[in-house]
Amino acid sequence: MVLGVLSDTHLSEPDERLEAVLAGPLGPAQMLLHAGDHTGPAVVDHLEFVEPRPYHGVLGNMDGPGLAGRLPPTRVLEVGGCRVGLIHGWGPPDGLVNRVAGVFRAEEVSLVVFGHSHRAEDRMVGGIRLVNPGSAFDRRWSLRRTVALVEVGPSGVVGVEFVEVPG
């Protein structure tokens, strides 16, 4: 199964940029995962009710009170036979991967999807594959705007591709 992974969209409303990312770079995805900082409830509404593919998201530090009761801070999903942890992250970018990895156990998940740093990353820590898609719209601590396509199966992660978002 191919997961379309995004994080840190920081949009108050869905717009043509989001539509272009969903149709273009994330077009091959069979399911969408958003690792927090959607920012506006209308973005979650769009992903949950308008977008035809299944969507799962978590709360980010910039997601306001309108999303606090709606999205959990973490979740674990069974996707294509692979157990996936989803979390936003916190604190400075340096050390983020290790902080996030410490939330989940290798017996619990094969893959952790996270965000917060706006940096695309694909690393192994303690037997867990950790993927941060970066940010599609806000480079902040990165040179590129990116999303990720992650292929998973019963044996875990099959492949990770970062896709640059023009703009």
Range of the domain at 41: 2-164
Report pLDDT for 140.
73
69-120 pLDDT tens trace: 899 999 999 999 999 999 999 999 999 999 999 999 888 999 999 999 999 9
CATH code for the domain in which residue 100 is found: 3.60.21.10
On the 0-12 / 13-18 / 19+ scale of CB atoms within 10 A, 96 is buried
**Distance from C-alpha of 78 to C-alpha of 95, rounded to nearest angstrom:** 27
100: three-class secondary structure by DSSP: helix
Number of structural domains found in the chain = 1
Check: CB of residue 31 under 8 Å from CB of residue 111.
Answer: no
Read off the pLDDT band of 60 (50, 70, 90).
very high
The answer to whether 117 and 141 are in contact (CB under 8 A) is yes
pLDDT in tens, 109-146: 999 999 999 999 999 999 999 999 999 998 776 679 99
